[in-house]
């Protein structure tokens, strides 16, 4: 008997976006259908039921046409968004994946997806004692980003002075905790009092400040780092980066991970204090987590015990249903989320 088609609810991009995205820039559709069994002609692909989707800042540049800074393909209006998520394999024509496997990797913002390049999926082996949603954040792409950026790019040493911008987000909250684990002094910036309190009470930052309340970022950094900054984990860009350059110590390191303050601007802000890179012999390096995928087993070996014994924690901001997917993304771009913004499809039928 032929497999019946089922409705496949999707979150689609309505049109290319400029400035801050609005919920109306996206819409939910149930017009698409899909068979929940792969045909014999489907070689090397897997069919998955999406369980959790990650509302990540890097999705914003993909909403505009021909983003000159991104190497990723922009979303196509009328097509579903895609990004990192957690899914369950329903059917597989790939030798490395079986029905019932849990995986994380790039998937569609839809109930069901056919993954044509499953080589880029990570099989989830540890899910009975940690939430599956963690693989959108602390145990997934953001976690590996924090780990590789801090330990591999920055090369931290005990006692160094570390500054993390956007510190209450999925990456920043982990960088700060990693820094504390090895004995660094850590300060984070965030955009609300609640986030600042969270950084100090939940994640163990030595200090934190609300950048929206600081009229002079250079003065704020001098207040928290009178000795200067050894390591800056860059997630914001713009005026913050310019102020940090003035406060770096000799032989400081800057890991450039993201620039969320620039993603909604038509023209990115320039920075003026680049001469500090010369005078202070600062190493400033951009990086992409995909270059560090081979470290994932080592990363899990390091982090899973820390999670289980409570030394590392995370905060998730979970909303349910594709109908709330646009709102979840807008929350991230507006900075209204606290912790990792996750969309759960566990109850979507």
First CA to last CA across the chain, in angstroms? 23
Instruction: Answer whether residue 267 shows pLDDT above 80.
Output: no
In a domain? residue 171: yes
Contacting residues for 165 by C-beta, under 8 A, at least 6 apart: 172, 188, 189, 211, 232, 233, 234, 235, 236, 240, 244
Better pLDDT: 336 or 252 = 252
114, 205: one domain: no
- φ, ψ (nearest 5 deg) of residue 47: -105, 130
CATH of the domain at 66: 3.90.180.10
Q: What is the mean pLDDT of residues 326-348?
A: 89
Please check whether residue 76 lies inside any domain of the structure: yes
- For the cut 70, the answer to whether the pLDDT of residue 182 exceeds it is yes
With contact defined as beta carbons under 8 Å apart, do 168 and 338 qualify? yes
Query: What single string gives the DSSP state of each residue in 252-286?
Result: EEEEE---GGGTT-SSPPP-S-THHHHHTT-EEEE
Note whether 88 and 10 are same-domain residues: yes
Q: Residues 169, 48, 44, 97: is their CA dihedral positive or negative?
A: positive
Residue showing tokens 């800057």: 254
Q: Are residues 194 and 285 in the same domain?
A: yes
Q: Tell me what pLDDT residue 349 has.
A: 44
Q: Is 126 in the same domain as 169?
A: no
Cα–Cα distance for residue pair 97/87, rounded to 1 Å: 12
What is residue 70's predicted lDDT score, i.e. its pLDDT? 57
Quick one: 285 and 168 in the same domain?
Answer: yes
Within-domain flag for 18: yes
Q: Are 153 and 258 contained in the same domain?
A: yes
| Residues 142 and 278 sit within 8 Å (Cβ to Cβ) | no
- Show the domain range for 106: 5-137+314-344
Q: Give the pLDDT band (50/70/90) at residue 333.
A: confident
Q: Is residue 157 part of a domain?
A: yes
Q: Which residue has the tokens 């922009």?
A: 74
Residue 236 forms part of a structural domain: yes
pLDDT at 259: 86
Does the CA dihedral 59-64-65-70 come out positive or negative?
negative
Give the per-residue pLDDT at 268.
Answer: 78
Domain match, 283 and 242 both: yes
In tens, the pLDDT along 206-265 reads 999 999 999 999 999 999 999 999 999 999 988 999 999 999 999 999 999 988 777 777
- Say if CB 255 and CB 229 are below 8 A apart: no
pLDDT of res. 72:
64
Q: Is the pLDDT of residue 309 over 90?
A: yes
Residues 148 and 126 in one domain: no
For residues 186-210, give the mean pLDDT.
Answer: 96
Three-state secondary-structure class, residue 236: coil
Say whether both 96 and 47 belong to one domain. Answer: yes
Residue pLDDT, tens place only, 68-115: 555 567 899 999 999 999 999 999 999 999 999 999 999 999 999 999
| Contact in structure between 248 and 232 (CB atoms under 8 Å) | yes
pLDDT-derived band of residue 1, with 50, 70 and 90 as boundaries? Answer: very low
Cβ atoms of 292 and 267 within 8 Å: the answer is no
- How high does pLDDT run on average in the chain? 93
Global pTM reads 0.92
Tokens of 45: 């692909």
Q: 66-70, 112-116, 155-159, 200-204: which has the minimum mean pLDDT?
A: 66-70
Residue 2 has a pLDDT of: 56
Three-state SS for 93?
Answer: coil
What's the number of domains the chain is made of? Answer: 2
Report the 10 Å Cβ neighbour count for 245. Answer: 23
Indicate if 31 and 148 belong to the same structural domain: no
> Residue 322: inside a domain, yes or no?
yes
Please state the rounded mean pLDDT for residues 202-206: 97
Per-residue pLDDT of 33-48, as tens digits, reads: 999 999 888 889 999 9
pLDDT of residue 65: 82
pLDDT at 318 over 90: yes
- Tally of CB atoms within 10 A around 267: 6
CA–CA separation, 306 vs 203, rounded Å? 13
């Amino acid at each position: 008997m032929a497999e019946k088609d089922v409705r496949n609810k999707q979150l689609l991009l309505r049109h290319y976006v400029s400035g801050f995205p609005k919920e109306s820039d996206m819409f939910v559709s149930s017009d698409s259908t899909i068979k929940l069994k792969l045909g014999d002609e489907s070689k090397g692909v897997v069919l998955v039921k999406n369980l959790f989707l990650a509302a990540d800042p890097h999705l914003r540049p993909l909403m505009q046409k021909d983003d000159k800074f991104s190497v990723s393909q922009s979303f196509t209006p009328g097509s579903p968004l895609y990004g990192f998520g957690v899914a369950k394999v329903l059917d597989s024509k790939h030798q490395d994946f079986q029905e019932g496997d849990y995986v994380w990797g790039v998937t569609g913002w839809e109930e069901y997806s056919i993954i044509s390049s499953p080589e880029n999926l990570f099989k989830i082996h540890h899910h009975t004692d940690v939430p599956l949603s963690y693989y959108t954040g602390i145990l997934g792409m953001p976690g590996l980003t924090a780990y590789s950026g801090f330990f591999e790019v920055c090369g931290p040493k005990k006692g160094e002075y570390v500054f993390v911008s956007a510190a209450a987000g999925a990456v920043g909250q982990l960088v700060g905790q990693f820094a504390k684990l090895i004995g660094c002094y850590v300060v984070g910036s965030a955009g609300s009092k609640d986030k600042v309190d969270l950084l100090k009470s939940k994640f163990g930052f030595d200090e934190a400040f609300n950048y929206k309340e600081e009229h002079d970022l250079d003065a704020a950094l001098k207040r928290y780092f009178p000795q200067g900054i050894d390591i800056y984990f860059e997630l914001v860009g713009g005026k913050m980066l310019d102020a940090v350059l003035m406060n770096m110590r000799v032989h400081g390191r800057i890991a450039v991970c993201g620039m969320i303050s620039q993603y909604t601007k038509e023209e990115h802000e320039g920075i003026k204090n680049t001469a500090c890179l010369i005078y202070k012999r600062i190493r400033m390096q951009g990086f992409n987590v995909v270059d560090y995928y081979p470290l994932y087993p080592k990363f899990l070996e390091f982090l899973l015990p820390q999670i289980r014994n409570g030394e590392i924690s995370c905060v998730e901001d979970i909303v349910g249903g594709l109908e709330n997917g646009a709102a979840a993304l807008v929350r991230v771009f507006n900075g209204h989320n606290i912790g990792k913004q996750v969309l759960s499809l566990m109850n979507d039928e």
